[in-house]
Chain A
Amino acid sequence: MRRPVVMAFLALIVTTPKAHSQDIGIAIERRLAESARLVVGDTVRVATDTGLGARAIVRAIYEPAPDPATIMRRDYHVRFELADLASLLGQPDRVDRFGVVLQAGIDPDTAAARLDRTAFGFSVFSSERIAAGSSTTFLVVSRFHRAIAVISIIASAIFLLCLMLLKVEERRADVAVLRLTGISRRTVFISLVIEAAVIALVGSALGVVMAAGASALTNWHYQGAFETSLHFSIMTLSTIAFAVALSVTLGIVAGAAAAWRLVGTPPMILWRRG
C-alpha cells in the first residue's frame, strides 16, 4: 500500500518571512501563489477550521494536473507532507484513502472484493470503478450535449431542406426556358441536382470553417476563464465527416425532390403562361 492521502480545509495567512527550524514545508498551486503573491521561501500560517495552526514555508509552487471534475469549484490547493498535515489536524495516524498497486496479473475487482471483506471501516474500489463514479457528471453533460445535438440536427435538416427547395424553385423560369429550347428533362434534372450538391458542399465547407473558428473561440474563452489547459471543444474527423455527410446528403435529397417536381411540370406552366 502506498500514497496515503489526507484532505482538509485550511486557512492560509501570509506572515513575516522569518523561518524557524520547526516550520513545516508546503507546496502551493500556481493560481494560489499568484493570487496571494507568494513565492518560494515565503512564510505563511496555515490553520484548520478548529483553530489549530502552524507556520509553514513555501517550498515549491506547482501546476496541478488539469481536472475537469474540480474546474468549476476553483478551490485553491496546498500540498503537505502527510505527517505534517495529520499533526496539524490533530489526527495523527489517520488518512482519508490509500492508493494500492497490485502485482502484475491480479484482477483489481477481485482484489478489491477480498480487501473489502478483511475488515469494516473502509471501502475498497478499483480505479475503474472510481473513474466510472467520478465521471458520472460528464456522462450527464455528454447526454445533454447529444440531446441538444439531436434538436440542432433536426432544425438544421429542416432548414436545409427548406432552403434547397426554395433555391431550386427559384429556377422555375430558367428550367422553363431550358425545357422549351429542347434540353431533356434528364439533363435539366441532373444539372439541378449537381447545383444542389455543389451548394451543399460549399455550404458544408464554410460550416466546417465556421465551426473551427467557434471551437477555437470557445477554447480560448474558457481556458482563459478557468486558467486551465483543458480543451472544452474538440473537432474530431468523425464529427466533421458526419456533419458534412449529413448536410450534403440532405442537400442532394432536397435538391433532387425539388428538381423532380420542376421537371415534371409543363414548361409553359413553369413560365406562368400555361
Chain B
Amino acid sequence: MNWRWALRDLARHRLRTALSLAGIAVAAALLLDMMMLSGGLERSFEKLLLSRGYQLRVTPKGTLPFDTEATMGGASDLVARIRAEPGVAEAGAMLATSVHALAGAARRSLVAYGVDPTAQGFYVLETGTDLDPSHPDAILLGLPAAAIVGARIGDTVEIAGRLDPQVGVASGTRRMVVRGTARFLYDARDQPSVAVTLGTAQALAGRSARDRASVIMVRVGDDSAAASVAGHLRERIPEVGVSSIGEMVVQFRTRLSYFRQLSLILGLIALVVTVLLVGTLLAITVNEQIGVIATLRAIGVARRSVFLYVMQQGLALTVVGSAAGLVLGIITARWLDAILTSFPGLPASISFFVAEPGSLLRAAVVLLITGVIAGLPPSWRAMHAPVAATLRSDAL
C-alpha cells in the first residue's frame, strides 16, 4: 500500500474527487484571503507610516494625525523643543489647509500641505525641484491637482487661502510658481493636493493659523529607542499628544476591528468546510471499501498500512485542493482588495490584502493540519474494522 494506490483510488472516482478538490480549493482560497485580511491592513499601514523613516507623530492632545482639523499653537517653539530632546534626529511641522486655485471666474479646491522641506515625510518629489524655504512662492503639485489646475512645471498659478462669501472675493491670494510634481503618501486616490512651505500655508490659512501646525513628524536616530523617546516627549511636553507607529497601528486596528473579526469567522468557516469535505469523502470511501480493507487485513496487511492508505488519500486531496486554492486565493484577494481600497479618504497606498510568504505558509500549514485531522476518524475506523464480521457481511 503506497501513495500510488491511494491516488489511483481517487482517480477511479473522478466526479466526486473533482468536486471535493473544487470544494477544498474554494475553502482554501477563502482561508488564505482571510489570513491576508486579518494582518495585511496593519502591515500595510505600518509600512506607509514608516515609509519616510519618521517613527513618531506629535499632534494636538487627544487626536491622531489627519483625524481632526485641530491644530497646535506655537509650532516653531514646539519643533525647537522637540529637536533639542535627546535621541531626536529630526523634527518637522506640517499644517494642512484647504486652498483654492483661481483661473478667471473658475476656482478649484485643493488640499495644501505646508511643510518644512528639510524635514517632511508627506510626499516624494517626482519631477522638478523640491521646495526651498528661501522661495516661499514655490508650489509642488500632485498629479490629480496638476490635472485639474492644468498647470505644468514653470507655470504660475493663483492660489487663494480663503473665499469670503460676505464680500464675494478671494482673500489671501498669492501667485505661486510650480516647481515640480510630487506623490503624496497619505492621499486618497485622486485627491488634489499641493505642497508649499509651512510659512506660506500659515499665511494662506489666515491669522488664526499663524505659527500653528497640524502635526509634527519626529525621526528618532535609533529605531529601538523610539518608544522611550516618545515617553520622554510626553513627559516633557504634556500639552500635546505623542504617538509611536505601534500606538497608531493599535488605534487603526481598533477602528477596523470589524475586518479582523470577519476574517476570523470566515476563516473558521472555511476550515470547517474543509474538514467536513475531506472527512465525509474519506468516510464514504472507507465505507465503500470496507470489504477490500477487511480482505487485506485478513491476508496479513498491517493495520498501520491501512491507516496510512486512508490518510494518504486525505492528504492528497488536501494538498492538491489547497495548492489550487492558494492560487485562487491570490486572484480573489486582488478582486476583494480593489473593492475595499475604494473606501473614501483611504490613502491610495494602503492594501487590505497583503500577500506575504508568511501568510501563504501559515495558510498551507493550517490546511495540512486540517486535512490530517479530517482524515483521522475514517482512518481509525478502517484500521479497526472487524475482519471476520466485515468479510461475512460483505459476502452476503
Contact = CB atoms under 8 A, between A and B. Distances in A.
Contacts, number: 105
Contacts of A120: 107, 163, 165, 168, 170
Nearest to A142: B339
A87 interface: no
B156 interface: no
Contact of A147 (B23, B73, B335): B335
A166 B280 contact: yes
Contact of A166 (B29, B69, B284): B284
Contacts of A148: 262, 266, 336
Contacts of B19: 158, 161-162, 165
A163 to B, nearest CB: 6
B287 interface: yes
B349 interface: no
Contact of A155 (B23, B63, B68, B208): B23
A136 to B, nearest CB: 5
A130 interface: no
Candidate in A119, A122, A140, A166 with the most chain B CB atoms within 10 angstroms: A166
Contacts of A128: none
Interface string A131-164: 0000011001001100110011011101101110
Contacts of A67: none
Interface string B190-234: 000000000000000000100000000000000000000000000
A72 B343 CA distance: 14
A143 to B, nearest CB: 5
B168 A119 contact: yes
Nearest to A272: B291
B255 A158 contact: no
Nearest to B335: A147
Interface string A159-194: 101110110011010000000000000000000000
Contacts of B61: 11, 49
Interface string A233-274: 000000000000000000000000000000000000000100
Nearest to A214: B265
Contact of B163 (A121, A137, A156): A121
Interface string B57-76: 00011110000111111000
A166 B155 CA distance: 73
Interface string B327-367: 00000100110011011100000000000000000000000
Interface stretch (B81-89, B123-131, B269-277): B269-277
A31 to B, nearest CB: 16
B115 interface: no
A122 B26 CA distance: 51
Interface residues of A, number: 35
B139 interface: no
Contacts of B255: 72-73
Contacts of B164: 121
Nearest to B212: A50
A122 B165 contact: yes
Given A120-B168, A140-B342, A159-B273, A151 B26 contact: yes
Candidate in B255, B276, B342 with the most chain A CB atoms within 10 angstroms: B342
B280 to A, nearest CB: 6
A162 B281 contact: yes
B15 interface: yes
Contacts of B262: 148
Interface residues of B, number: 54
A91 B162 CA distance: 15
Contact of B30 (A11, A155, A163): A155
A51 interface: yes
A140 B256 CA distance: 14
A125 interface: no
B376 interface: no
A9 interface: yes
B38 interface: no
B185 interface: no
A143 B262 CA distance: 15
Interface in A113-129: 119-122
B22 interface: yes
A121 B161 CA distance: 11
A155 B165 contact: no
Contacts of B33: 151
B20 interface: yes
B315 interface: no
Contacts of A122: 165
Contacts of B332: 151
Contacts of A163: 276, 280
A91 B165 CA distance: 15
Contact of B340 (A73, A144, A151): A144
Contacts of B4: none
A220 B229 CA distance: 42
The 7 A-B pairs of least Cβ separation, nearest first, read A121-B165, A121-B163, A162-B19, A155-B26, A158-B23, A9-B70, A49-B70
Given A51-B73, A121-B162, 12 more contacts: A9-B62, A49-B72, A120-B168, A121-B163, A143-B342, A148-B336, A152-B266, A155-B270, A158-B22, A162-B16, A166-B280, A170-B288
14 contacts: A72-B256, A120-B168, A121-B166, A140-B342, A144-B339, A151-B29, A152-B266, A155-B23, A159-B23, A159-B276, A162-B16, A162-B22, A162-B280, A170-B284
